[in-house]
């Protein structure tokens, strides 16, 4: 499956928005009934995030069909990303600009094929920041998603609850390179 996959990078939302929403709805289909995971909530976050500094998205396509995505933006020490983390992250991380990986997802037929890692790595190839951070629901996939990020070199540095509708998430970080 991975041999036919094409990765496309976007620095503006408009040409990628419809595909991001479509893949998100498929990837999160079992959670869409929860307010924080509804497509409308994702669309609002996506629209807001795309206006933030350093926004970039990478979509994977199999013969022009979108099958996976990731997007991120840059955060600095004053960003609300860091202000919601408990305990307060080390200045080692927050004194620099960092890449905040906001979303990553791959449709079921392409899971376990390395597609998510290819998308992740292509997104990071676009970044000059020293660190990349993400938030993960530790219960996602019975902990499988958290363990996957650990295998990719991320380590936990705290917790965050971005909104009242959001579960408490584990905040993870690693170097970009």
Per-residue model confidence as pLDDT tens digits over 76-110: 999 999 999 999 999 999 998 999 999 999 999 99
Cα–Cα distance, 138 to 158 (Å, whole number): 12
**8 Å CB contact between 73 and 55:** yes
Q: Count structural domains, the chain.
A: 1
Query: pLDDT-derived band of residue 163, with 50, 70 and 90 as boundaries?
Result: confident
Per-residue model confidence as pLDDT tens digits over 14-57: 999 999 999 999 999 998 998 888 999 999 999 999 999 999 99
Q: What is the pTM of this model?
A: 0.93
- CATH code of 105's domain: 3.40.630.30
State phi, psi for 92 to the nearest 5 degrees: -55, -35
Which domain, by its residues, includes 88?
2-175
Which residues have CB under 8 Å from 143's CB, separation 6+? none
């Amino acid at each position: 499956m991975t041999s036919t996959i094409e990765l496309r990078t976007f620095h503006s939302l408009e040409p990628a928005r419809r595909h991001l929403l479509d893949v998100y709805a498929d990837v999160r289909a079992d959670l869409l009934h929860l307010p924080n995971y509804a497509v409308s909530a994702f669309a609002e976050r996506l629209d807001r995030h795309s206006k933030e500094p350093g926004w970039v998205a990478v979509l994977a396509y199999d013969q022009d069909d979108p099958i996976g995505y990731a997007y991120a933006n840059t955060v600095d020490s004053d960003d609300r990303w860091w202000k919601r983390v408990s305990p307060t992250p080390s200045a080692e991380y927050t004194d620099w600009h960092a890449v905040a990986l906001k979303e990553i997802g791959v449709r079921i037929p392409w899971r376990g094929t390395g597609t998510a890692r290819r998308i992740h790595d292509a997104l990071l190839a676009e970044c000059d920041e020293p660190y990349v951070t993400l938030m993960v629901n530790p219960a996602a996939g019975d902990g499988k998603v958290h363990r996957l990020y650990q295998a990719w070199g991320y380590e936990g540095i705290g917790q965050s609850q971005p909104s009242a509708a959001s579960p408490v998430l584990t905040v993870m970080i690693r170097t970009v390179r």
